[in-house]
């Protein structure tokens, strides 16, 4: 931490100050994240899904035109597609808030770790519950 002359490295002091500021701002960031919503649309724009900050379904809007030609499988696919888009939306918003909380060096390191294809945890975190459920359903 300190140099051979006994002086503290200025870069380290700056980084510690940034981390202290980020820590002080975490409650505000947490409040902002709890107010997030994600919105997703089905490819045909007939189904709109809104999810809350944790990706849980908050609202769903189904255009009545869907019922002109009833197709349960198509409606299911549309809802799931809109849900995936909504969850991706809210996750991106959350990441943007968190990226602004930490020093730039830490953000670039975090981005590098997440973009690493061999990062098993990163792969798991980016998978949606609907996809995991569908895979399990196929195995049954």
Q: How high is the pLDDT of residue 116?
A: 56
Q: Domains in the chain and their CATH numbers?
A: 30-101 (3.30.1310.10), 105-139 (no CATH)
| Reported pTM | 0.68
Q: Burial level of 115, CB count in 10 A (0-12/13-18/19+)?
A: exposed
Residue 126's closest CA among 115, 140, 112?
115
Phi, psi of 45 (to 5 degrees): 65, 20
Q: How high is the pLDDT of residue 139?
A: 77
Phi, psi of 64 (to 5 degrees): -60, -20
β partners of residue 62: 47
At 116-127, the pLDDT tens digits run: 545 555 555 556
Q: Which residues contact 52 (CB under 8 A, 6 or more apart)?
A: 36, 37, 58, 90
At 7-22, the pLDDT tens digits run: 778 877 877 887 787 7
């Amino acid at each position: 931490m300190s140099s051979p002359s006994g002086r503290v490295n200025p870069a380290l002091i700056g980084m510690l100050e940034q981390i202290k500021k980020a820590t002080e701002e975490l409650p505000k960031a947490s409040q902002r994240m709890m107010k997030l919503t994600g919105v997703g649309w089905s490819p045909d724009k007939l189904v709109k899904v809104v999810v809350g900050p944790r990706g849980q379904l908050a609202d769903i809007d189904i255009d009545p035109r869907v019922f002109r030609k009833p197709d349960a499988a198509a409606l299911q696919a549309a809802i799931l597609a809109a849900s995936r888009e909504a969850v991706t939306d809210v996750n991106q918003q959350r990441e943007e808030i968190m990226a602004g909380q930490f020093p730039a060096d830490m953000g670039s390191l975090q981005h590098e770790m997440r973009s690493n294809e061999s990062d098993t945890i990163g792969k798991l975190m980016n998978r949606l519950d609907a996809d995991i459920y569908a895979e399990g359903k196929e195995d049954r």
